[in-house]
Amino acid sequence: MKILLCNDDGIQSEGLQRLADAVADLGELVVVAPDGERSATGLAITLTRPLMARPWHRPGECVPFGTALDGTPADCVKFGINRCVQGPVDLVLSGLNRGPNAGISVLYSGTVAVATEAAIMGIPSIAFSVAAFENLQWDTGAAVARAVVRRYQAWYAAGGRMPRDVCWNVNIPNRPLAALRGLKVVPMGASRFRETYEQRLTPWGSPYYWSHGELEERDVSASTDLRALRDGYVALTPLVLDRTARDLTEAASAMTGVEANWTSPDA
């Protein structure tokens, strides 16, 4: 099995290297990741400048760990599949991300964007995030990621297939492995960050603004990704590319014919 590994925290991040070590023996692994932090870039791609790529080595190692690309996480998937992997890619992995990607954060996440881009290209993919920003339990994250990948491989070997327009988003509680309560398949929640912008001044007196966020909890009482995390469960959410609200298409069809009234003062 050929596995492409990408992330959004950068090729130097500990989470990426922990994930690579955890799955190194599960397939033919190729690493392509941004050359620096690219968090919250979503599905952005680079169109207006060339991309620069170079081999990146772990300290003290002679063999390159992977390829560092000065683009976005989605760029890394596209570039990796087109330039770095010989032959078809069987699985794309993203992470281990520093911080959760649950609720509305999924839409901004570069980590989830890696898995989404792979799904767009018809390749099975899984994104992994450890739900903390400090004192991360990397060992737990790596062990869970390895277990999920092995379970996926067993399911695939038995004939299971991930639909072309689906990717898996996995959030892992920041706890010792023995303290995890299990894994739950749950829907994406609606909790989001509410931003404020603090004004500061440069030494020359010009204002600039620093963004801060506070979690607005909308659905922690429901069976969603954030609630599962808080209850100590690994949260696995299957995500689809099609964002059409199909239950509202009939109501929206009332707009048919509105073009006849473009110039109407009552339109």
- The pTM assigned to this predicted structure is 0.89
Confidence of residue 200 (pLDDT cuts 50, 70, 90): confident
**Per-residue pLDDT, 260:** 55
Whole-Å CA distances, 233 to 11, 70, 98, 196: 28, 35, 17, 31
Q: Which amino acid is at 9?
A: D
**pLDDT tier at 189, thresholds 50, 70, 90:** confident
CATH 1.10.287.110 fits 2-190+220-242, yes or no: no
Q: Mean pLDDT across the stretch 75-90?
A: 94
Provide mean pLDDT across the span 184-201: 79
Nearest to 81 by CA among 102, 67, 70, 97: 67
Q: What is the mean pLDDT of residues 41-66?
A: 94
User: Taking the domains of the chain in order of start, what are their residue ranges?
Assistant: 2-190+220-242
For the residues of 154-205, what is the DSSP string, one character each?
HHHHTT----TTEEEEEEE-SS-GGG--EEEE------EEEEEEEEEE-TTS
